[in-house]
Structure formats: structure tokens, C-alpha cells
Amino acid sequence: MDKTVTIPRPDDWHLHLRDGAMLKAVLPETARDFARAIIMPNLVPPVVTAAQAREYHDRILAALAPGSRFTPLMTLYLTEETDPDDVAAAAASGLVHAVKLYPAGATTNSASGVSDFDNVRAVLERMAEIGLPLCVHGEVTDHDIDIFDREAVFIDRVLDPIRRATPGLRVVMEHITTENGVDYVKSSDRDLGATITTHHLIINRNHILVGGIKPHYYCLPVAKREEHRRALRAAASSGDPRFFLGTDSAPHTDPNKESACGCAGCFTATNTMPLLAHVFEEENALDRLAAFASRNGPAFYRLPVNQDRLTLIRADTPTDFPPRIGSADGPVTVFDPGFPVYWRVS
């Protein structure tokens, strides 16, 4: 007999939709299962003002299929020229739900990010006053820091000093990848949460490097040792309200992923929910899938839990996921977990 799990319709608290032809191709993959998503602002040029966020929001709505029930939650890209008043007005209008901090050069399209954190103090203080979350890409970019240590060093050198200097600032550590990140979130009893991606629950750094380089497993922050993957699984499946789903689903065309200097990002929008059901079943925690995917994120962002429901079914035969989706820009490979998955969305 098939096994079923029904949860409130989930949300994605970290999503890349890109723009133009790519937006039109990948948006249906998220809108099919998810009710809302925090939309990343690292376009080229980045979304840095309320006016730009409104224009991007309208392009997303225009790309939705008729009758689709999906709400994009917009963010602003924090730069050293960001205007605190513009941020506050965007938040007050209900348009913008967070501001995104990229250390300059940390990941895709992050060249406009922050180099001198003293230059954004006024923005962070205003955000603390109004309760607007700061979403952080938690890696330092110093050339002398090993890429596998960047998250742990960021916590000590950047994040903890920012939080101490700005009491009341609500922070989301996005796509944590280390036991250090898990422990830091657990050390705080307020104003701190973390998203965990689908792919970081499934792969470690061996999957990228053993037997040849696997470009479709390459992401930033890069996957770490197995001990860190296990810590992420324990956190995600614990029911702890400080941890919630942010897929960081990041579409790149295959030629851009498979080039001599391939882009970072895993495209997981298509199959995230079946993959999560597989992971949570392995962790004997299917009863806590709703907390991770549907309840903890809205609680942190002070939004209601979705009233619609989503049902996952476990069948006796593996689910066939498309190996890639097409776009006018080129094909995008769907994340392959490397094992059969028996779950599907009803």
C-alpha cells in the first residue's frame, strides 16, 4: 500500500529565478509545489532599490501561468550605498521581506556586495528597528582562507560582531553547510534562524570530486565533509523552529555549468519535495517534515502558515524526474540525487 504524507503547502525561503527567458522556464517548477518564495536579488544589475524590486516582482507575476497560486517575496541587495529610508519604505509597503547581504565576490553575481561592513551600519540599525530580516551569504572571501573554512570564519569574524553591534537585528544564515553553522544557530534563542538546502542534505564534497569533477554538484557554499552533512540532516529533521527550507535552487544552462570555469549552483526546484520526503524518511522524521518545509519559515518571517495542503505519496516504483528542463537560453540540468526516489507529489 502506498504511504502518504500531507503537509501545509511549503514555502522556499531562498530561491533564484533569474530573469527573462530563464525566469519563464524555471518559475513553473517552483510554483507547482510552493506557495511563496524569498526571491534572490542578484540579477545583473542587482535589485538594490524598492523601485527595482517592484519591477522585478511585476515581471515574475507576468511570467506565472494563469491561475497559478504563487507569491514572490522580494528582497533587496545590500550595497554600501543602500539608503535606509528606501529600505524602510519598501518594507512598510509590504513589497520587501528581507535584505540580502553578499560579501563582495562570495558567489554568483556578488561583485556589488559589501566589502566594508562599517558602511552598512545605518541600514542594519534601521532594519533592527523595523524588524526586517537580514539574509546573509555566510562566507568570507579572503584569499588566505580555505574555501572549506569560509563559513566558520565568517561566523567569527563577521556575523557575530554584526549581531553584537546591532541588537535586535533579525538574521537568517542562508544555506548553512557546516556543523559550526548549526551550533551557532542553536546558541541563540532569538533573532537568528537558518535555511538548509535540499542538496546539502544529500551530497558531501566527495560527490563533487571523487571519480571526476561533477559540475552539477558544484555550488557555493561548496558541500563539506560527511560529518557536516550529518549535522545538517539532524538539524533539519529535528523540528527545531530555527531551521527551515531554503533550496537555493539556482538555474544555469548546461554549457555554463560544464565549461572550464563552471557556474556554482544546483537546480532543485523540480524535485525538492520528493527528495526531502526521502531524506526525512531515512531520518525517521516524516512527522517533522511539515515543521521544516511549511511552518518554521513562516514563523520566522512573521507570516501565516499556508492553508493549502500538499500530499506526497510513496510508491513501489521509483519516480522518474526529468533530467533537464528546457529554456530559450539553453537546457538546465535537474539535480540528480544519485539514488532511486520513491516519493512524488500527488
Per the annotation, the verdict on 248 as an active-site residue is: yes
Cα end-to-end span (Å), the chain: 15
**Nearest Cα to 287, choosing from 243, 245, 237?**
237
**Nearest Cα to 306, choosing from 53, 9, 4?**
9
**What are 174's strand-pairing partners?**
137
What secondary structure letter does DSSP report for 114?
B
The residue with cell 522556464 is: 25
CA dist., res. 7 & res. 44, Å (int): 36
Instruction: Burial-class residue 122 by CB neighbours within 10 Å (0-12, 13-18, 19+).
Output: middle
CA dist., res. 89 & res. 71, Å (int): 20
Could you say which of 248, 254, 308, 336 is catalytic? 248
Q: Which amino acid is at 158?
A: V
In order of 136, 150, 156, the CA distances from 140 in angstroms are 11, 5, 10
CA dist., res. 206 & res. 296, Å (int): 30
Q: Which amino acid is at 310?
A: L
**Nearest Cα to 316, choosing from 338, 339, 342?**
342
Q: Are 218 and 182 in contact (CB under 8 A)?
A: no
The helix or strand, by DSSP H or E, that contains position 287, with its residue range, turns out to be none
C-alpha cell at 252: 544555469
CA dist., res. 324 & res. 321, Å (int): 9
* 3-class SS of residue 44: coil
Q: Are 174 and 134 in contact (CB under 8 A)?
A: no
Active site residues: 248
